Structure 1
């Protein structure tokens, strides 16, 4: 397991988090010295042939019009028929399939694991791009092979007009404020909503490390339902001490302020919110991929004493909270000893030593049985 980055170029991580994270872009020259891409364009194209892998092709001058979007899986004939320039292949969650890519995530553990989304990799032919756009999440763009010109514009939002005639959210107007050519090992950090446009200078490969953040709408909708389950029917809106109504038909500012205050009181359930948040932030992006690895809960008992370890499925997510001691995996909450959950969420593996130290996790229908049965715990794949 790689160690988290302590510096971004010459900048200490503490300075980056204080002055740049979610605030402003940063170009980091030679962030990964002597970087060699763990995957080639041909290997990425090979992944895009698989049904289980999410992939897309963006053609700036497509058969159906400008900025055509095609979704995988693709065939070899699809790639052979592509033009020589102005197209990009994007493959999601490559970290779930290749250990060399998964190891890159360890460098970014100065951000909580549960904030990390996945690692998307794009291969672009000369002049290939996905157009000027913006994202709702933070992203580190690591140049892996070749060169790419990155142009960064101002912060934008839903009110900025989009280009019509394409399913892609391409900005109709883009004004570059900064422009850089990135080479292998260089990395560009972009906070949410900063417009940007990357154009390949010759064939190139870019690794995108993205971070998840649920929308306010999703949080309010889901959390409200979760909190409401624990509230008794007798807990209701109250207006004790209210002044006589000046206009009986008016919903006056005082009533609205009173409701806001009561909402705050109803939400003062930190343990319940922590349990909800842990489950939401560890939901697998591709749960079907996790389910494919569901195993026999009895089998591991024979294998583990022989030195075989169980590891967290690359498609799974794990986190924990202290009070009460809870392990969150793939959207589910499990009670387990705090020392164990801290250790497991850091190492992402279980050996016989852990079982001897924490025998309760190995009981019939216990934690390990449940995690093996749902595909969260697996034997290390050959690639991993």
Structure 2
């Protein structure tokens, strides 16, 4: 069960951001320019070891990559792995995605960055490397915080416009990298990089571990496609008689069950040509689809809370029934894998739309990821019954004080 972190005070200076407040960081640096932070977490020690990372990379459901750079050039292999190069061999790197799904303290570390919306926060990737190990100079399309966990890593960055790549490589490596900043990070140091900043990280010595806090960056095409697919799914459900799927339980959607007709269409000498009438009818149908804020929120809520395949829950023996009686003491805490978000009255958990409207206590649970027993007193029986279902699924856990 993951340790809960309070929502960061956006107006409080923090070592995590080099003495800046989260408000100042978002205003001056986020998606604008890099920031090197010495001792962002003083005395930091990662909760996972190099052996732990290697163990994760052996698992089928965990995404991992092994990158080597030797006399024969660059090599990229995808896990799961049965073994790894010896620690004495230089210039190899192992990267493991989603470590926060498997380790409570890693999940807690990731959530120190919740001054940025959960809609953007993605996962914690851990890389381990021997001397000279890295993935080559490259550019990413997403924001990332690079926290040094063990050993040392040299980071060189550049704002160069030339993004040409070396051809015929398994990795996207810049052909002409011209760094304008060069820094070595020690454990506890952190580097923030906005999208499209060219960078190259190389291990200095063996036993190097870097933790990458990454962020989602959906393309406009992804958002548009998902929105239209969500609207189509809701319309299909409406046609099957479910009145509560069109953004609001009480709002009916348009009836699009009528079949296309083309009475009086003339005979054609061009049977392979698409009929203009059918094209126009298709456009007219789209005009009847209501794409509003509720539909968009429903799509985003389900999509952004959907879990990767390697998010596994381990329900404990539940010793409490909140619907029967809320204990006087204790805490309800979200599992480290659980994703809970809301928009207005809509509530989303782990890719599902909750039947229960989002009342203040459920919004507080989503924001704080933990609620004391006192804040559960007086909740509606339907809400407590829903929380009991989540307890049975292992999506939330109850701990006694």
Normalised by the length of structure 1, the TM-score is: 0.77
SS of equivalent to 2:150: strand
**What is the SS of the residue equivalent to 2:302?**
helix
- Whether 1:339 aligns to 2:392 is no
**Is the Cα contact below 8 Å between 1:93 and 1:118 reproduced in 2?**
yes
Q: Tell me what 1:316 maps to.
A: 338
- Distance 1:332-1:9 versus aligned 2 partners, 3 A rule: same
Instruction: Indicate the residue corresponding to 1:14 in structure 2.
Output: 23
What do the CA deviations read for 1:276-311 (whole angstroms, capped 9, x no partner)? 222222221x24533x54689x87539985977553
* Pair 1:202–1:341, CA change in 2 (3 A): same
2:346 is aligned with 1:326: yes
Note if 1:110 corresponds to 2:115. yes
How far 1:98 moved relative to its partner? 1.7
Residue 259 of structure 2 is aligned to residue 269 of structure 1: no
Q: Could you tell me how far 1:83 is from its partner in structure 2?
A: 5.5
- Output the CA distance in 2 between the equivalents of 1:89 and 1:141: 15
Choose from 184, 187, 196 the match for 1:184. 187
Give the deviation of 1:331 after TM superposition: 1.7
Secondary structure (helix, strand or coil) at the match of 2:138 reads coil
Q: Mark the CA change 1:66 to 1:31 in structure 2 (over 3 Å): closer, same or farther.
A: same
Contact map agreement 2:31 2:195 (CA 8 A) in 1: yes
SS in 2 for 1:129: coil
CA distance 1:2–1:299, change in 2 (3 Å): closer
Asked whether the 8 Å contact 2:5–2:368 carries over to 1, the reply is no
Distance 1:218 1:155 in 2: 28
**Residue from 144, 148, 159 that aligns with 1:143:** 148
Q: Could you say which residue in structure 1 is the equivalent of 2:58?
A: 49
Q: Which residue of 1 aligns with 2:229?
A: 225
Conserved? CA contact 1:293–1:375, under 8 Å: yes
* Contact 1:304–1:351 (Cα < 8 Å) also in 2: no
Shift of 1:375: 4.6
In 2, the alpha carbon distance for the partners of 1:304 and 1:71 equals: 48
Deviation at 1:61, TM superposition (A): 2.1
Partner of 2:119, secondary structure, is helix
Residue aligned with 1:210, SS? strand
List runs of 5+ in structure 1 lacking aligned partners: 235-258
Which structure 2 segments of 5+ residues have no match? 236-252, 258-282
- State the secondary structure of the residue aligned to 1:123: strand
Q: How do 1:189-200 residues align onto structure 2 when only pairs under 5 Å count? A: 189-200=192-203
Does the 8 Å contact 2:36/2:192 carry over to 1?
yes
1:371 matched residue in structure 2: 390
1:72 to 79, 83, 91: 79
Query: Deviation of residue 337 (structure 1)?
Result: 4.1
CA 1:337/1:266 → structure 2, altered by over 3 Å: closer, same or farther?
closer
Rounded Cα–Cα distance in structure 1 between residues aligned with 2:63 and 2:25? 32
Per the alignment, do residues 83 and 102 of structure 1 end up closer, same or farther by CA in structure 2, a change over 3 Å counting? same
For residue 159 of structure 2, give the secondary structure of its aligned residue in structure 1: strand
Q: Describe the shift of the 1:295–1:50 C-alpha distance in structure 2 as closer, same or farther (beyond 3 A).
A: same
SS of 1:79 mapped into structure 2 = coil
CA 1:182/1:17 → structure 2, altered by over 3 Å: closer, same or farther? same
Q: Distance between the aligned counterparts of 2:108 and 2:346, measured in 1?
A: 26
The answer to whether the Cα contact below 8 Å between 1:223 and 1:273 also exists between their aligned partners in 2 is yes
TM-score where L is the length of structure 2? 0.74
Picking from 149, 170, 175, the partner of 2:173 is 170
SS in 2 for 1:30: coil
**1:121 CA displacement:** 0.9
Question: Which has the larger share of helix?
Answer: 1
Of the candidates 39, 43, 68, which is equivalent to residue 59 of structure 1?
68
- Measured in 1, the distance between the counterparts of 2:86 and 2:186 equals 28
Deviations 1:163-205 (A, max 9, x none): 4131x22223322122111111111111112121100111211
